[in-house]
């Protein structure tokens, strides 16, 4: 323990980046504190993000399976009745249990939880309310918050124009919901309310949904969501939203310019991306500047340009994902402790938790083609015995490999359990696997991951079941 400071390490923010960094730092013998301005630990992810959205997705999926005939097709005749209050209660229970779990882990690992909003006074001193705390090393893990749309006022309490936090809490199913942004939040939370009975219209600025994902995946996902009943207005921008009582009127325009159109809705979800949290952090007091996207830049060890100040998670460049933040949290603590903490940013999976799930890792086919000659193997879920038996025919797995070395460059999947299937691809790519390695690895039968094996076999044109 350094004699000159109150703590060896102080972490600002207790989301997946911050709380994981705090626990790892304490495990490595460093005297650690973590500051959090929310009433509970766990950040966006546990309080208003990953966990509550998955609680609503999981519950609404059961409702949908009962309502849309999936259960009946398996011989289970039921007429579902929605108890939305109870659905919300189980979501709140999940959040309470998991955020309480982090509190327990802090106690167990002797991490001090400092309650309040932190602001830098100098590179080793932070002010939290009336308290001043010093530390040899400080990690910024302040996360991100919703990007607002100019001219559109979000009011989660009123429940007419909401962000993701408000959309998780709607007290009744809207008749008509307009989702602005066909990205991850729009599709996940749009799916929740569509399943529970809302008419959902998704307005997307670009000519296709899910930017950043593989082209085939984007096209197929669009088809599947349309079939499920979501209406899409692509290449369209929202230029304004006015609210009168409990109704919103949106003004839309083609993205390239053109005639205006107006649509009405009971609920508007603004989900056009998230921005890093640095306001009020006092970065000016330590001479730390953000880049043009408002992010804090670091080197590969997560050091900022200011000695003793580090940063991880949504506040730094890279995908805004909880597991990326967690991996960086572990690595930064290990680097501060003098060990070698590394994150392989080329191998980070991303998953959209709709039904079916959409998952990917590594390069898209378009990116891989730009880098050199490739071979692609694709296998439809319809030909996978388990998916077919389970009445889950939608989707495919796609393996992209280097044409010369056969090394796997990317794997993309649309399948009911694609989020679980992608873990295999992550391990394979982390170990530099070839498509042949996956193809000749025994996969249990009958399971969905057999489709990944077959897609790998298809890279050399030799799948068995198609
Ligand atoms: P955060 O989780 O945002 O935590 C930062 C914390 O710092 C916050 O609690 C904040 O209160 C606190 N803070 C900020 N400034 C200060 C300050 N100055 N002083 C004290 N405290 C401060 N990712 C996935 O991987 N999978 C998912 O399924 C998923 N679902 C999501 C669903 C939704 C609706 C949303 C909004 C996000 C979702 N994400 C998901 C993204 C994920 O939540 C973030 O990538 C992740 O939480 C980032 O972790 P973080 O630690 O960097 O920041
Ligand atoms: P996003 O970046 O995924 O999608 C935003 C979409 O809005 C894009 O398609 C973009 O083209 C579109 N858009 C931007 N401006 C627009 C405008 N004016 N009009 C119409 N469309 C517009 O952002 P989203 O969905 O808000 O999510 C934020 C982040 O949260 C994600 O990038 C992701 O990192 C994280 N997240 C992750 C989840 C997961 O891992 N399953 C779930 C939810 C969120």
Taking residues 37-45, what's their average pLDDT?
98
C-beta 295 within 6 A of ligand 1: no
Q: Using 50, 70 and 90 to split pLDDT, how confident is the model at 259?
A: very high
Handedness of CA 110, 114, 118, 123 (dihedral sign): negative
Nearest CA among 146, 353, 186 for reference residue 268: 186
Taking residues 362-376, what's their average pLDDT?
98
Tell me the per-residue pLDDT of 152-163, one tens digit each, with 9 for 90 and over.
999 999 999 999
DSSP strands (E only) in 76-226: 112-115, 118-122, 125-128, 131-140, 144-146, 161-162, 176-180, 199-203
Do 216 and 308 have their domain in common?
A: no
Measured CA to CA, the distance from residue 443 to residue 445 in angstroms comes to 6
The answer to the question of residue 120 being in a domain is yes
Do 210 and 283 have their domain in common?
A: no
- 151, pLDDT greater than 90: no
Provide the percentage of residues in the chain whose pLDDT is more than 90.
99
The secondary structure of residue 139, as a DSSP letter, is E
Residues near 50 by beta carbon (within 8 Å), at least 6 away in sequence: 322
C-beta 36 within 6 A of ligand 1: yes
Instruction: Report the b/e string of 383-402 with b at 16+ CB within 10 A.
Output: bbebbeebebebbbbbbbbb
C-beta 328 within 6 A of ligand 1: no
Q: For ligand 2, what atom is nearest to the CA of residue 185?
A: 25
> How many other CB atoms are there within 10 angstroms of residue 260's CB atom?
10
Domain boundary among the residues 253, 272, 291 is at 272
Q: Give me the residues paired with residue 261 across strands.
A: 252
| Catalytic, out of 88, 323, 443, 445 | 445
**Burial label, 204 (beta-carbon count in 10 A; 0-12, 13-18, 19+):** buried
Residues near 114 by beta carbon (within 8 Å), at least 6 away in sequence: 10, 33, 34, 35, 36, 128, 131, 133
Q: For ligand 1, what atom is nearest to the CA of residue 274?
A: 36
Do 20 and 102 have their domain in common?
A: yes
Shortest-distance ligand to the CA of residue 274:
2
Do 56 and 121 have their domain in common?
A: yes
How long a stretch of residues is the chain? Answer: 466
Element holding 12 (H helix, E strand): strand 7-12
Measured CA to CA, the distance from residue 121 to residue 210 in angstroms comes to 41
> Quick one: pLDDT at residue 258?
94
Q: What is the CATH number of the domain that holds 98?
A: 3.50.50.60
Measured CA to CA, the distance from residue 330 to residue 107 in angstroms comes to 18
Do 12 and 140 have their domain in common?
A: yes
Q: How far is CA 240 from the centre of its chain?
A: 27
Do 138 and 253 have their domain in common?
A: no
Q: For ligand 1, what atom is nearest to the CA of residue 319?
A: 45
Do 216 and 268 have their domain in common?
A: yes
Domain boundary among the residues 272, 288, 312 is at 272
Domain boundary among the residues 219, 250, 272 is at 272
Residue 351: half-sphere exposure toward Cβ, Cα within 13 Å: 22
Residue 445 is a catalytic residue: yes
C-beta 37 within 6 A of ligand 1: yes
The answer to the question of residue 115 being in a domain is yes
Domain that holds residue 170: 161-272
C-beta 278 within 6 A of ligand 1: no
Joined tokens for residue 307: 């000695």
Bridge-based pairing state of the strands 7-12 and 199-203: unpaired
The answer to the question of residue 102 being in a domain is yes
Please state, in angstroms and as integers, the Cα–Cα distance from residue 16 to each residue in 22, 313, 323, 328, following that order.
10, 8, 7, 9
Q: Using 50, 70 and 90 to split pLDDT, how confident is the model at 346?
A: very high
CA–centroid distance, 180 to ligand 1, in Å, is: 21
Out of 14, 39, 44, 148, mutate this one to test ligand 1's pocket (max ligand atoms within 8 Å of CB): namely: 44
Q: For ligand 2, what atom is nearest to the CA of residue 209?
A: 9
Pocket of ligand 2 (CB under 6 A): 149, 180-186, 188, 203-206, 211, 237-238, 271-274, 319-321, 350-353
Joined tokens for residue 162: 């909401």
Do 221 and 309 have their domain in common?
A: no
Do 50 and 137 have their domain in common?
A: yes
- 3, pLDDT greater than 90: no
The answer to the question of residue 83 being in a domain is yes
The answer to the question of residue 349 being in a domain is no
C-beta 141 within 6 A of ligand 1: yes
> How many other CB atoms are there within 10 angstroms of residue 172's CB atom?
14
Lowest-confidence range among 87-91, 249-253, 460-464?
Answer: 460-464
Joined tokens for residue 211: 């930017």
Q: For ligand 1, what atom is nearest to the CA of residue 350?
A: 25
Q: What is the CATH number of the domain that holds 390?
A: 3.30.390.30
Do 107 and 135 have their domain in common?
A: yes
- 1, pLDDT greater than 70: no
CA–centroid distance, 147 to ligand 2, in Å, is: 9
CA–centroid distance, 210 to ligand 2, in Å, is: 8
Measured CA to CA, the distance from residue 117 to residue 106 in angstroms comes to 18
> Quick one: pLDDT at residue 2?
66
The answer to the question of residue 249 being in a domain is yes
List the residue whose alpha carbon is closest to atom 9 of ligand 1. Answer: 43
Do 88 and 209 have their domain in common?
A: no
The answer to the question of residue 79 being in a domain is yes
Nearest-5° Cα angle at 111, 124 to 134: 15
To the question of pTM greater than 0.85 for the whole model, the response is yes
The answer to the question of residue 342 being in a domain is no
> Quick one: pLDDT at residue 255?
96
Nearest CA among 460, 395, 413 for reference residue 434: 460
The domain total for the chain is: 3
Do 281 and 201 have their domain in common?
A: no
């Amino acid at each position: 323990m350094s004699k000159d400071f109150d703590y060896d390490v102080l972490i600002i923010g207790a989301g997946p980046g911050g709380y994981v960094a705090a626990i790892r730092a304490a495990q490595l013998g460093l005297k650690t504190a973590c500051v959090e301005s929310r009433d509970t630990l766990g950040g966006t992810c546990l309080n208003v993000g990953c966990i509550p959205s998955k609680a609503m997705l999981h519950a609404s999926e059961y409702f949908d399976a009962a309502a849309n005939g999936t259960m009946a097709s398996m011989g289970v005749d039921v007429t579902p009745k929605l108890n939305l209050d109870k659905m919300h209660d189980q979501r709140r229970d999940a959040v309470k249990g998991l955020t309480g779990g982090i509190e327990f882990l802090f106690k167990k690992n002797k991490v001090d939880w400092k309650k309040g909003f932190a602001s830098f006074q100098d590179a080793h001193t932070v002010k939290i309310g009336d308290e001043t705390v010093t530390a040899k090393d400080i990690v910024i893990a302040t996360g991100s918050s919703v990007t607002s749309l100019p001219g559109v006022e979000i009011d989660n309490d009123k429940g007419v124009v909401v962000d993701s936090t408000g959309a998780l809490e709607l007290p009744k199913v809207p008749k008509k919901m307009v989702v602005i942004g066909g990205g991850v939040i729009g599709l996940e939370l749009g799916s929740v309310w569509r399943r529970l009975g809302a008419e959902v219209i998704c307005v997307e600025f670009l000519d296709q949904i899910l930017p950043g994902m593989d082209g085939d995946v984007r096209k197929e996902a669009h088809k599947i969501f349309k079939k499920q009943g979501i209406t899409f207005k692509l290449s369209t921008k929202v230029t304004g939203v006015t609210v009168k009582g409990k109704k919103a009127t949106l003004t839309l325009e083609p993205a390239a310019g053109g005639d205006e159109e107006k649509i009405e809705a009971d609920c508007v979800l603004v989900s056009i991306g998230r921005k890093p949290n640095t306001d009020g952090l006092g970065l000016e007091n330590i001479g730390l500047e953000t880049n043009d996207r408002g992010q804090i830049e670091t080197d590969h060890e997560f050091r900022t340009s200011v000695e003793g100040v580090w940063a991880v998670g949504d506040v730094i460049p890279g995908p805004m994902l909880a597991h990326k933040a967690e991996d960086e949290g572990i690595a930064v603590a290990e680097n501060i402790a003098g060990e070698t903490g590394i994150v392989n940013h080329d191998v980070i999976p991303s998953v959209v938790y709709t039904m079916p799930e959409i998952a990917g890792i590594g390069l898209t086919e378009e990116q891989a083609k730009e880098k050199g000659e490739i071979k692609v193997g694709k296998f439809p879920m319809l030909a996978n015995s388990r998916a077919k038996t389970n009445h889950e025919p939608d989707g495919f797995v796609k393996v992209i490999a280097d044409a010369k070395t056969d090394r796997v460059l990317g794997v993309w999947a649309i399948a009911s359990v694609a989020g679980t299937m992608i873990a295999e691809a992550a391990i394979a790519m982390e170990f530099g696997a070839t498509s042949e390695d996956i193809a000749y690895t025994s996969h249990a039968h009958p399971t969905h991951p057999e489709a990944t094996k077959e897609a790998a076999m298809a890279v050399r044109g030799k799948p068995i079941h198609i």
